[in-house]
A and B are shown apart, each in its own frame.
Chain A
Amino acid sequence: MSLVQVTEADGGSAVPTDVGVEAEAGRRRLQRRTIGAGGWVGAGVLVAVLATTLIGPLTSGDPLAQNFDAILRAPSAGHLFGTDELGRDVFVRVVFGGRTALAITVVSAVVASLLGLVLALAGALFGGWVDAVTSRLADVQLAVPSIVLAIVVLSFVGNSFVPIVFVLVLGSWVLTFRVIRGHARAVVAQQYVEAARVAGAGRFGIAWRHLIPSVLPLLAVAFTINASSALLLESSLGYLGLGVQPPDPDWGQMVATGQAQIFTAPWIALFPGLAVVATAVGLQLLGDGLAERFVGGPVTRRGLAR
């Protein structure tokens, strides 16, 4: 039996259909309607990061503004994160870099989640060769190292927004697919789905009324993990010079350029990297909290943990 509780999603009730211990555990879990302290901390960090990157650009200066009177200044009240070798304010650049990094991350995670969801539901509903083909596709995807894919696509096709998102989506959709597919197959085998089918509901009706409401919590968990792996990969691509190109600021790319000054001004490389870590940790904590609350166990980058 999978860790995921197959619950009756139609009619708005959320009573577990399983009997015995699992149902009891599920009921207890449903009573504890919280994502835990870690989940709240993660959500708080994410809100703080999002608010800073969304509101910050309205109040602070120009990320490209150079000031040769203030080059390589250490962090202080005037320059919160210090200045770089051209006198640019590192805090302002981190705020603006966050916009690029987070926009790419969120778009990639949304597309990856939708792709995984659609393929998983198709596999669960149609079964047979559809399921075989989508599962094989996921296996093939796992067999291609993300770095090879990134080098090939980004060097031959170019590194603008769409190719970067493409690489990130291909690197992370399998997680959603695997998690959702397992759950959706279990739901399709339930008697109420059978009853709906007998009553004349079509495949899309079943998907809309029964499957999608039932997989929503899982989708939320998978989304946070997709977002965190997309962010890590995006920043790595930026660091390697395969991602967002200068002069557009981007967290990973800023770490790479800051590395040249690492002896005299380590803060240039440190703060954009810390921004990545803070966001990724926030996503991870929130994902763990959601998983604990809705799924009943951790979901790892590869799928449901045992």
Chain B
Amino acid sequence: MSVSQDASAGPAPAPAPWSVPRRRVRAPVSWRYIGGRLATGLVAVWGAVTLVFFALYATGNPAILLVPPDAPPDEILRLTHLMGFDRPLPVQYWNFLTSVATGTFPDSIRYGADPLPIALAKIPASLALGLTGLLVGVLLGGVIGYVSATARSGWLSRVPLGIATGIESVPTFFIGIVLIIVFAVRLGWFPVTSTGDAASMVLPALTLAFAFIPAIARVFRTALLDVLQAEHIRTARAKGLPRHVLVSRHVVANSLGTTLNVVGIQAGVLLGGAVVTESVFGWPGIGQLSINAVQNRDYPLVIVCVLAIAVGFVLINLVVDVVAAVVEPRLRS
């Protein structure tokens, strides 16, 4: 707590002009900040649950959807009563909220088992693909943004960014298809579908990365150009700081916060891209599971998948916010 108070206190006394600035240990993000973000996230999850509830409610008696098509009538009645679908709307809503909160869902129609463990078992694969794709996307997008902001020649500052902007008009699934045709069918370098080893990760991770390279590149470029015009950069240049130190410590470090913030805003794009990418490559993650569940009309599993994706969305935003606040204290307010 005392540490965070230090961070919110006024600016530190300016060092003597002749001293080289010491590497300052940054105060970690306060628990209060994380708690605030978590509360916002809970509201978002509640919104997703409510959305699912009303979509179910709009179908009439959701219990009919939640049991196998050949279920006996008393099974439908049992579930109708269990989930409270025969009660007044507010009671139904409350029952739905509590059943979600306690993790009680009707059995998956296709697997005939509790859908929660089925969905949870797919999360590591999705996480592996998502994090790899995110890393590749941020690195490639960062390089493009950096090159286009600092290049001295005209074409280097335009062409990579132009290509990135063009990629924005290509739907993720088609990026995957083109990568498959070129690198799997023609060149045969990588497998078409997931086999579980590292080679089968390359094309899906690239596909996912392409989904948000344009946004990262554009924002990083704008942030870099902003920082490059700042007074302290001129000062740093004037005192003869080597270019690589100037760039890494002053320019890039000051541009990271804004860029990370955009990664958070792009979390929805990342999730949508992940669902599509998993479907293109048959990646055994939660995205493919949810699409299969929709196609099999396995509604209990659909509900669990949607909630898992919503929670994932909230967690991505939380992590990005915290990381952004660590590297960029100005974002903490």
- Residues 244-295 (chain B) with a chain A CB within 8 angstroms: 265, 267-268, 271-272, 275-276, 279-280, 290-291, 294-295
Chain B: interface residue count, which band? 35 or more
Cβ–Cβ contact B275 & A276, under 8 A = no
Min CB gap B171→A, angstroms: 5
Q: Smallest CB-CB separation from A153: which chain B residue? A: B55
CA distance in complex: A270, B178 (Å): 8
Cβ–Cβ contact A236 & B55, under 8 A = no
The SS class assigned to the B binding surface is helix
Residues of B within 8 A of A140 (CB): 47
Min CB gap B268→A, angstroms: 4
Residues of B within 8 A of A157 (CB): 55, 58-59
Interface stretch (choices A5-13, A20-28, A259-267): A259-267
Interface string of B125-139 (1 = CB under 8 A from A): 000000000000000
Cβ–Cβ contact A236 & B173, under 8 A = yes
Tell whether A175 is near chain B: CB-to-CB under 8 Å. no
Cβ–Cβ contact A151 & B302, under 8 A = yes
- Choose from A146, A241, A276 the contact partner of B291 (Cβ within 8 Å): A241
Cβ–Cβ contact A252 & B173, under 8 A = yes
Q: Smallest CB-CB separation from B288: which chain A residue? A: A240
CA distance in complex: A266, B185 (Å): 9
Residues of A within 8 A of B168 (CB): 284, 301
Residues of B within 8 A of A145 (CB): 267-268, 271-272, 309-310, 313
- Residues 147-187 (chain A) with a chain B CB within 8 angstroms: 147-149, 151-157
Cβ–Cβ contact A277 & B174, under 8 A = yes
Residues of A within 8 A of B192 (CB): 262
- Choose from B165, B171, B271, B302 the contact partner of A236 (Cβ within 8 Å): B171
Interface string of B161-192 (1 = CB under 8 A from A): 00001101111111001101100010000001
Cβ–Cβ contact A239 & B290, under 8 A = no
- Choose from B48, B166, B173, B299 the contact partner of A155 (Cβ within 8 Å): B299
- Choose from A236, A241, A266 the contact partner of B294 (Cβ within 8 Å): A241
Residues of A within 8 A of B51 (CB): 144, 148-149, 152
Residues of B within 8 A of A151 (CB): 290-291, 294, 302, 305-306, 309
CA distance in complex: A228, B166 (Å): 12
- Choose from B58, B222, B279 the contact partner of A239 (Cβ within 8 Å): B279
- Residues 221-272 (chain A) with a chain B CB within 8 angstroms: 228, 232, 235-236, 239-242, 252, 255-256, 259, 262-263, 266, 269-270
Tell whether A306 is near chain B: CB-to-CB under 8 Å. yes
Min CB gap B170→A, angstroms: 5
Residues of A within 8 A of B271 (CB): 145, 147-148
Cβ–Cβ contact A143 & B44, under 8 A = yes
- Choose from A143, A149, A240, A273 the contact partner of B178 (Cβ within 8 Å): A273
Interface string of B39-78 (1 = CB under 8 A from A): 0000010011001100110110000010000000000000
Tell whether A300 is near chain B: CB-to-CB under 8 Å. yes
A144-B51, A147-B272 known; A255 and B313 CB under 8 Å? no
If A142-B268, A156-B59, A236-B171 are given as contacts, then 11 extra A-B residue pairs at C-beta distance below 8 Å, sorted by A number, are: A146-B268, A147-B268, A157-B58, A236-B172, A240-B173, A240-B291, A241-B294, A255-B173, A259-B177, A277-B171, A305-B222
Give the interface of A toward B (CB within 8 A). Answer: 140, 142-149, 151-157, 228, 232, 235-236, 239-242, 252, 255-256, 259, 262-263, 266, 269-270, 273, 276-277, 280-281, 283-284, 300-302, 305-306
What 9 A-B pairs are tightest by C-beta distance, nearest first?
A: A145-B268, A280-B169, A147-B272, A273-B174, A156-B55, A155-B294, A239-B173, A281-B169, A232-B171
Q: Would you give 11 A-B contacts (Cβ < 8 Å), ordered by A?
A: A142-B265, A143-B44, A145-B268, A145-B310, A147-B271, A151-B291, A152-B51, A228-B169, A236-B172, A252-B173, A270-B181
